[in-house]
Structure 1
Amino acid sequence: MSALLSPATDLLDELRELFPFALDDFQIQAIQILAAGESVVVCAPTGSGKTLIGEYAIYRALAQGKRVFYTTPLKALSNQKFRDFGQQFGADKVGLLTGDISINREAPILVMTTEIFRNMLYGTPISLAALAEVDAAEALTGDPLQDVQAVILDECHYMNDQQRGTVWEESIIYCPPTIQLIALSATIANSDQLTDWMNHVHGPTHLIDSDHRPVPLQFHFANHKGLFPLLEQTESGQWVRNRRLRSKRPNPHERSRAGVPDMTQVLENLRQRDMLPAIYFIFSRKGCDMAVASVGALDLMANDEERQRLAQQIDQFCRETPEAVRQDHLDALYRGIAAHHAGMLPAWKGLVEHLFQQGLVKIVFATETLAAGINMPARTTVISALSKRTDTGHRLLTASEFMQMSGRAGRRGKDVLGHVVTVQSPFEGAQEAARLATAGPDPLVSQFTPTYGMVLNLLQKHSLEAARDLINRSFGQYLLSLQKLPEQQELQHTRTELEELDRTLGEISSEDVTRYEKMQAQRREERRILRYLVKQREAEPDPTLRLLAFPHIQAQEEKIRALESQILANPAHKVGKKLLGLQEKRQRLVKRLEHLERQSGSVQELRWQQFMALVQVLQDFDCLQGYQPTASGEVVAALRGDNELWLALALLSGECQGCAPHHLAGIVAALVTESPRSGTYSRLHTSGLVEDVLHGLRGLRRQLFRSQRQHQVFHMPIWFEPSLAGIVEHWAQGIPWETLESHTNLDAGDLVRLIRRSLDLLSQIPHVPHLPQELRENARQAQNMLDRFPVSELI
């Protein structure tokens, strides 16, 4: 590593030419590692310039005629990177793969979701066919990783994501060691463990860990009295809560508005202190929308020139895409105020992002999803509460969640300081705010969970034992080995002690022990007789008789000496009186060893047990013959989804035969839609044919439920939501967007997501083997029917 830290002059010259501004030390170190041909993990705060390291890898690959894959966790991020790199490197050099979108996929810079990259790595004809949009037979001739020099795993801390974290682990495990990995992550507590694991499963990997922020953060606390410093520095240099702020924590059982500032008051404070533009985080869509309405006629525009630029762009958007306009937010947007959340149309959110990046929108009320990598840097972030409601109840923010939102503050090259404002809420105050502001980052944990697709894709290329080895190379297994290190050390110590004891006892047979114990007993008896004879002789008054007793005594002693000689020659004599104790100790060691091995094995084999449970379910439905995928199994392997087996069974059932494309769209929607929130309704109902098909699938779904329950597979959902399928069927038939919105209480963004989830499966069907040609063609037509504005993703 030391050699890597002494850059060659030509490398420094190259860097100065590529990046004329000053590079930070951590950027230079990471680039040196890449130049040496090794992989790197870069952990640094949001906004510190991690992306530049990926850009260097792209410049280098282009110069050497190689390719680079840039992966992100979200389609929106992939779309953004595709646009950015197109401007930076040339549109002809950049491609995009996000499952349902494929643009210039042979380009030297290929942007994709991490899930798509993982599917490439399976390397089976089936997975390659779906990616390349060709039949499985054609895919045999292609290698999607040809000439790939490096893969950039952006937002690598998404390994913590409960639903999608597995994808990152698989990508790292399966990536060929000849390809450099560049893992870019926000600050995490166990970056050294992530790096060490990658070093074991992929190849030489170095850690570049930096806590340096180009734009330092200043923390504030807002209450009804105003805006105050949240932290103060002690004489020892430690940052603690400002003692002038009340530390009394609000009673969690009493929702009190005491001390809670008015939102308009907070915004006025920000404007007066020149702390705009700002992102104001609120943990609900409804809360964001209500915030826009609550600020009334507040106008945040700085001058007429800004106001005119803003109005021109909004007017143009309204002319070109009137169906995407959020009418109830339009007036606020002209005054520099907006909301941003998943319930909005992508086009409207894109407008808000574009205006905010120009500094024309001054305040955005956003849910925390905006903190997940979208390029919207601000001078200030405001965190409205330090706790949020989740599926499992109300809880405090984690340190990483707080840091992710805080990290959006401070624009590099524009701001000297970034500002983070925490707000007094009915539930938390300055004490909780100070604790989160000074807390260290959370560690990465493993979310590795086998799926049906994983099982079948592995068994297409690997034996069962090889698949087991791959499963046991997960980050979770690595963390478990560290966690269990004391137990493993005790296990090894116990084994060593038992081996030494067995060596000691190894030369002693049970017959030796039996003879040894008998001779010991006989010697005790002969000694007793000797003592009796000696005592008799000493008690005899007649000297002659005493003399006559002597030979019985030159004889008893001789007998004892002969016994002792035999005892000394017996192998059991080596341990002598300790023999019984050693045998008892051995029994204790054997029991302890069995307990430790049982305990170790039960935990270590958890993921393999999950894998084998999925194998058994697949065998129940004839998707595996033994451990070899069947034709039905190849259908499962080619699909992506929350439960690939359920999707495959539905498509193979024959129920969809005779359906028109719009019917198929509705059926697919029912198979991929999660259960909606309570109170959700739609007045758009499915046609009779779709109802019949869905009714026919209910029995198949019950069979799958029974099989999963029998084999204790509890982590694979079997989505089935006919109540919203009519929305997708009607959209496929050409219903106007305004009519669609007026017939349901789903947010516009939820409608888009529902249709796009259906589109994702429809886009896969034409490339899945063993499906009827009619079904494939109908899926293509249904895809074209659904993929229109405002559902189409803007590129």
Structure 2
Amino acid sequence: MRAQSSVHPDESAGNSPAERFEAAKQRQAESQTEFGAFKETFDFGLDDFQVTACRSLEAGRGVLVAAPTGAGKTIVGEFAVYLALSRGLKAFYTTPIKALSNQKYSELAAKYGAADVGLLTGDSSINPEASIVVMTTEVLRNMLYAGSDSLDDLAFVVMDEVHYLADRFRGAVWEEVIIHLPTDVQVVSLSATVSNAEEFGAWLDTVRGSTDIIVSEHRPIPLWQHVMVGKDIVDLFAGDTSFDQLAVADRDAVPAVNTELLELARTESENRSRGRFAHGRGGRSGGGKQWHGRKGQAAGRGDAPQSPARTASRSQVVLALERANLLPAIYFIFSRAGCDAAVRQCVDAGIMLTTEAERQEIAALIDAASEDIPSDDLDVLGFWSWREGLLRGIASHHAGMLPTFKEVVESLFARGLVRAVFATETLALGVNMPARSVVLEKLEKFNGEAHVNITAGEYTQLTGRAGRRGIDVEGHAVVLWQPGTDPGAVAGLASRRTYPLNSSFRPTYNMSINLIAQFGRARAREILESSFAQFQADRSVVGLARQVRSREESLAGYRESMTCHLGDFAEYARLRRELSDAENAASKQHSRARRDAVDESLAGLRPGDVLEITAGRMPGFAVVLSNDPNLHEPKPTVLTDARETRRINRHDLDGPAVPINKLRIPKQFNLRQAKDRKDLVAALRHAVQTAEPAAAQPPAFSSSRQVEQEAKISALRRALRGHPCHGCSDREAHARWSERWWRLRRETDALVQQIQSRTGTIAKTFDRVCGVLESYGFLTPAPGGEGRELKPTADGQRLRRIYGEKDLLIALCLREGALDQLEAAEMAAFASALVYQSKREERGLRVKMPSAALDASMDVLVRQWSMLEDLESQSRLPLTSEPEFGLVWPIHKWARGRHLERVLEGTDLAAGDFVRWAKQVIDLLDQLASVPGLAPGVRSACVEAIERIRRGVVAYSSLAE
């Protein structure tokens, strides 16, 4: 391994005649090389790091290129493509997502011709035997395990966005590919700037052979950092220079923050503490210099930023950017609904960023892209509001959009016709859409479990879009001032442009059985021990041991501080912790039991039932008009005594819904007729007055488990009160020290456990995985094998062809015959339960199935999952996630030919979300159809299900995530 400077010797040749002559000779010699010919295909000069990396490739070495977003890393990948074509060999270009694969395929096909370039993604195959094939990384992994003939003559593999191997869900795929590629294949690894490139390069050198590390921290377009206070854009850092230009010896040093912003934060804090700031009194009306841009334009009105209490609206931000000549811009909002709302707000504000000629060009492109969409689908897809925003040069971009719509936005943005895009963070990890400026509305996001601050790496990835190479001389990152903004924290994020690359690799069931089938157990263990995860684990033990020694010293001090003269305070503190944990567990269980009871009561309501709405925004009495008991969260439609029609859910009730009376709704009742509504409300009020008073009884949510919990809590409370330390006058002071001791003790024990488990940790996990597979009969001892050699059984061979998070669960269902009796629509619904991931509050909810056959199959699925989870828990393995049923009814209706509006009715699914999940269902069905040894009819049902799903919006949506 050689870490290389990004400056090549002959790039810095002197000016003497002899030196100029020598440099000219070198240039002439280079022009005769493959790299020299490749350089001639560009009408601009290459940067030093690109030259260095290309020369390493030509010399036969692998390369790791780590450089900022937009620096031009893909030039090195394109040189690998050029070398393969010029030598009559193959190159594979891999990307993390389908959208990037599509984009790269289009670029390479335009440059080298469609005959020489192919595309392979989960649901698209174009010219797969071409010399150059663009594919998702998973496709290449599957080819390696299958021993595909397409690997013949493969000379180069480009792994774009290789830092994805840190992704906890999909990252292992990158390591699998790097480990399993034939040794004579040169690997081109392209990464964002990471702080441990040398460590990652050292691992690549170990597993792949000679690998050069080329690191460039230079952004070709300087990035200026700002904070938008009110309607004014203020520089984040002091001085008149971008952070990129600061000579910072320590990469973690933070340059000086603009003192005006620090003063603003201090004043806001003081005013808030006095309770006056929220009313706009008693403090400065502003502060901080107004930013005039690099060319002198005023970024906002007035002589100073507005009060930070008045955060600029989204439309005001767009107008401020337009005045400052900072459009086009990408405005990141970590919410799909927020992105769509932002477009509506700008449209309502009358913002128009396009000319009449541009609007005509936009309309023509929209019409061409949507001509295949049935007209009755357009309203469901929100087409008209989407079109109105585009005509004004404004759009949203997120995973909930129809893929076709996203591609139109990307195309118009690339042409400069869309000038403001409101996007979620998926855009930063996806297609190439650079802008002049990037806006971050907030510096926190919801990660699926909680609201967390974004990391320095995420900030870098998001703001890296700012500055278009060859168009802009500088890029601009703007953070919106929110109440409580800390300029120092923003500066810390903005000044740390690197982040560590940590492996997420772990052996899966599919990976393990494929390795054993190809190499045997002993060799598979050796291969897994060569992973980057194990490489990092072995290096980290020394640092962990140092941390443990330091923490043990602190623990001794804490123990002394919590000493009580009345008794053993550590024992007393343990009782307090147990009581607190038991009370929290009981509270959560009670809340869930209450929710389930309310949902069950709502599902049981029938038309004509009269009930009282006891909570929510509009309490009162109502009569049920309709109810669909098949929804995962029941939402009956009711008519209230205020003559309003609405849908109610669990949040509108304090307890289970109990009808207090019953009405007969006339058959001719028409909700749209005011007279019908008036008559029914009159009948409702009469029914309320004549209802028999119900005996007051508290809702019963208790179970035997809850009774046990209550008994445990009572016993703990008695033990706590009876402990000698309970009467100590310094009890709470001791308790604070005990909490610190306990928190540090847990952290220290975790570190000790890490140290004990680090050596051979990947191989140990592999052994546990093998144990599970052997207990299920997917692996069996190999005849004549030495020691513990294993081989796959027939069931194991089926597992080899199933990829995904629930690989073993799927194989178990196949073995149990769960799919044998399903027709096409039922097969699609069954597959949806294996790929769909619901929102957190919907998880674990079981719904009534569309058919008895599907209900029986789902019983098998749930039973197999439950047993597998128990075995995984005993084996200390990560648990297979629970099947999710939220997509069962929508995908079943779709496969039965229902209209999109009916399919989405009663769900929270956006059309784009439905398309995305439908494509994943197709991917799984396609896998199942190719599994060997299926029962008769299963394969044909899978194929038919694919055909039924691939229609309408799913068929005419081109590829996306």
TM-score by length of 1: 0.80
Tell me the distance in 2 between the aligned counterparts of 1:350 and 1:789.
17
State the Cα distance separating 1:698 from its structure 2 match: 3.0
State the Cα distance separating 1:475 from its structure 2 match: 1.0
Cα distance change of structure 1 residues 625 and 234 upon mapping to structure 2, 3 Å threshold: same
Q: Which amino acid aligns with 1:616?
A: G
Q: Write out aligned runs for 1:611-650 (5 A).
A: 611-626=766-781, 627-650=790-813
Q: Is the 8 A contact 2:315 2:351 kept in 1?
A: no
- The answer to whether structure 1 residue 701 and structure 2 residue 724 are counterparts is no
Tell me how many residue pairs correspond in the alignment: 671
| Matched residue, 1:586 | none
State the Cα distance separating 1:214 from its structure 2 match: 2.0
- The answer to whether structure 1 residue 303 and structure 2 residue 458 are counterparts is no
| Matched residue, 1:609 | 764
State the Cα distance separating 1:618 from its structure 2 match: 0.9
Cα distance change of structure 1 residues 241 and 767 upon mapping to structure 2, 3 Å threshold: same
Q: Write out aligned runs for 1:541-560 (5 A).
A: none
Cα distance change of structure 1 residues 209 and 15 upon mapping to structure 2, 3 Å threshold: same
Task: State which drifts further: 275-284 or 761-770.
Answer: 761-770
Q: Write out aligned runs for 1:463-474 (5 A).
A: 463-474=520-531
Q: Write out aligned runs for 1:684-699 (5 A).
A: 686-699=850-863
Q: Is the 8 A contact 1:155 1:373 kept in 2?
A: no
Tell me the distance in 2 between the aligned counterparts of 1:705 and 1:677.
19
Cα distance change of structure 1 residues 691 and 227 upon mapping to structure 2, 3 Å threshold: same
Tell me the distance in 1 between the aligned counterparts of 2:390 and 2:848.
32
List per-residue Cα deviations over 1:724-769 (Å, max 9, x = no partner): 2121122112222233223422122221222122111101122211
- The answer to whether structure 1 residue 173 and structure 2 residue 179 are counterparts is yes
- The answer to whether structure 1 residue 206 and structure 2 residue 212 are counterparts is yes
Q: Is the 8 A contact 1:682 1:727 kept in 2?
A: no
Tell me the distance in 2 between the aligned counterparts of 1:40 and 1:634.
36
| Matched residue, 1:314 | 366
- The answer to whether structure 1 residue 193 and structure 2 residue 199 are counterparts is yes
| Matched residue, 1:158 | 164
| Matched residue, 1:342 | 399
- The answer to whether structure 1 residue 262 and structure 2 residue 309 are counterparts is no
Q: Is the 8 A contact 2:90 2:154 kept in 1?
A: yes
- The answer to whether structure 1 residue 244 and structure 2 residue 408 are counterparts is no
Aligned partner of residue 444 in structure 1, secondary structure:
coil
| Matched residue, 1:274 | 325
State the Cα distance separating 1:464 from its structure 2 match: 2.1
Tell me the distance in 2 between the aligned counterparts of 1:220 and 1:417.
13
State the Cα distance separating 1:318 from its structure 2 match: 4.1
| Matched residue, 1:444 | 501
Tell me the distance in 2 between the aligned counterparts of 1:431 and 1:180.
44
- The answer to whether structure 1 residue 183 and structure 2 residue 178 are counterparts is no
Q: Is the 8 A contact 1:684 1:730 kept in 2?
A: no
State the Cα distance separating 1:240 from its structure 2 match: 2.3
Q: Is the 8 A contact 2:928 2:939 kept in 1?
A: yes
Tell me the distance in 1 between the aligned counterparts of 2:183 and 2:791.
27
| Matched residue, 2:487 | 430
- The answer to whether structure 1 residue 791 and structure 2 residue 954 are counterparts is yes
Unaligned runs of 5+ in 1: 129-141, 490-595
Cα distance change of structure 1 residues 363 and 597 upon mapping to structure 2, 3 Å threshold: closer
| Matched residue, 2:682 | none
Tell me the distance in 1 between the aligned counterparts of 2:929 and 2:391.
45
Cα distance change of structure 1 residues 382 and 107 upon mapping to structure 2, 3 Å threshold: same
List per-residue Cα deviations over 1:74-126 (Å, max 9, x = no partner): 1221122222222222222222222232222111111111112122223xxxx
State the Cα distance separating 1:246 from its structure 2 match: 3.2
List per-residue Cα deviations over 1:757-789 (Å, max 9, x = no partner): 211110112221121242112211111111224
Q: Which amino acid aligns with 2:326?
A: M
Q: Write out aligned runs for 1:230-629 (5 A).
A: 230-233=236-239, 237=247, 239-246=255-262, 248=265, 258-295=309-346, 296-321=348-373, 322=375, 323=377, 325-326=381-382, 327-485=384-542, 602-626=757-781, 627-629=790-792
Aligned partner of residue 133 in structure 2, secondary structure:
strand
| Matched residue, 1:518 | none
| Matched residue, 1:711 | 875
List per-residue Cα deviations over 1:678-734 (Å, max 9, x = no partner): 3699999623321222123333233222222222223432x4223421211221122
Aligned partner of residue 943 in structure 2, secondary structure:
helix
Q: Is the 8 A contact 2:369 2:404 kept in 1?
A: no
State the Cα distance separating 1:392 from its structure 2 match: 4.4
| Matched residue, 1:218 | 224
Cα distance change of structure 1 residues 598 and 387 upon mapping to structure 2, 3 Å threshold: closer
Cα distance change of structure 1 residues 313 and 101 upon mapping to structure 2, 3 Å threshold: closer
State the Cα distance separating 1:487 from its structure 2 match: 8.7
Of structures 1 and 2, the one with the larger relative CO (CA 8 A, separation 6+) is 1
List per-residue Cα deviations over 1:176-197 (Å, max 9, x = no partner): 2200000011111011111111
Larger radius of gyration: 1
Q: Is the 8 A contact 2:354 2:417 kept in 1?
A: no
Q: Is the 8 A contact 2:330 2:421 kept in 1?
A: yes
Tell me the distance in 2 between the aligned counterparts of 1:74 and 1:598.
36
Tell me the distance in 2 between the aligned counterparts of 1:231 and 1:358.
33
Q: Which amino acid aligns with 1:393?
A: A
Q: Which amino acid aligns with 2:170?
A: R
Tell me the distance in 1 between the aligned counterparts of 2:406 and 2:758.
45
If each structure's helix is expressed as a fraction of its own residues, which one has the higher value?
1
1:739 to 878, 892, 902: 902
Unaligned runs of 5+ in 2: 11-25, 249-254, 279-307, 547-750, 782-789
Cα distance change of structure 1 residues 475 and 5 upon mapping to structure 2, 3 Å threshold: farther
Q: Which amino acid aligns with 1:43?
A: A
| Matched residue, 1:136 | none
TM-score by length of 2: 0.66
1:68 to 91, 100, 109: 91
Cα distance change of structure 1 residues 320 and 699 upon mapping to structure 2, 3 Å threshold: closer
1:109 to 112, 122, 132: 132
Q: Write out aligned runs for 1:69-108 (5 A).
A: 69-108=92-131
Tell me the distance in 2 between the aligned counterparts of 1:44 and 1:699.
49
Tell me the distance in 2 between the aligned counterparts of 1:163 and 1:155.
15
RMSD: 2.8
Q: Is the 8 A contact 1:423 1:429 kept in 2?
A: no
Identity of aligned residues (%): 38
1:52 to 75, 98, 115: 75
Q: Is the 8 A contact 1:385 1:428 kept in 2?
A: no
State the Cα distance separating 1:600 from its structure 2 match: 5.7
Aligned partner of residue 240 in structure 1, secondary structure:
coil
2:39 to 11, 16, 36: 16
Q: Which amino acid aligns with 2:538?
A: S
Aligned partner of residue 259 in structure 2, secondary structure:
coil
Cα distance change of structure 1 residues 410 and 234 upon mapping to structure 2, 3 Å threshold: closer
Q: Which amino acid aligns with 1:710?
A: Q
List per-residue Cα deviations over 1:573-618 (Å, max 9, x = no partner): xxxxxxxxxxxxxxxxxxxxxxx99986632232222211211111
Tell me the distance in 2 between the aligned counterparts of 1:599 and 1:345.
44
Tell me the distance in 2 between the aligned counterparts of 1:487 and 1:350.
47
Cα distance change of structure 1 residues 597 and 217 upon mapping to structure 2, 3 Å threshold: closer
Tell me the distance in 1 between the aligned counterparts of 2:886 and 2:353.
45
Aligned partner of residue 484 in structure 1, secondary structure:
helix
| Matched residue, 1:227 | 233
Q: Is the 8 A contact 1:765 1:776 kept in 2?
A: yes
Aligned partner of residue 97 in structure 1, secondary structure:
strand
Cα distance change of structure 1 residues 208 and 789 upon mapping to structure 2, 3 Å threshold: farther
